[in-house]
Amino acid sequence: MVVYDPLSQADPAPAERVDLRTLLETSDIVSLHARLTPENHGLIGAAELARMKPSAILVNTARSGLVVEAALVEALRRRTILGAALDVFDIEPLRPGHPFLELDNVTLTPHLAGSSIDAFHGSPELMAGHLENLLAGRGLVPIVNGVQPRLSFRGDARRAGLR
């Protein structure tokens, strides 16, 4: 198993850290798990898809902008890669007549791949833990958009057990 992550310095064991080119050329399945940033927008385009094995499958449940959608449609049409599994799209929901809907080598889900039973059961507990830490002054809530919530209390904070 190999991994490419230009931002992490953590030991990926048991995976081996490789560059993107090596990952694309050697992997049977390329699965994307990244936030979309200006630096990685279009990370997988025509050139990257051409490096993949003809038997490879691309999985993107992260963000649509990581993959150049038109290049992926073309690679799937030409069968440059075996297939793709996608949960994110440039425009959601997919409109009738979208090329992905006409291909037999792509699996599509409507942006709900993270909606598992475990996620539904675990999310409230996870959020409660984040809020508990915030209220106790042990850290901030992990926020994607960079806007941290502000605490404001009506009445006496001491009576609420917060001081």
One-letter identity of residue 102: E
Residue 85: strand pairing partners: 59, 107
Catalytic residue among 25, 33, 77, 92: 92
How many CB atoms within 10 Å of residue 23?
A: 19
Residue 121 bears catalytic tag: no
Return the structure tokens found at 44.
């997988």
Q: Are 134 and 151 in contact (CB under 8 A)?
A: yes
Catalytic residue among 17, 74, 98, 111: 111
Catalytic residue among 17, 63, 98, 130: 63
Residue 98 bears catalytic tag: no
Rounded Cα distance between 77 and 36, Å, is 26
Return the structure tokens found at 29.
């399945």
Residue 63 bears catalytic tag: yes
Annotated catalytic residues are 63, 92, 111
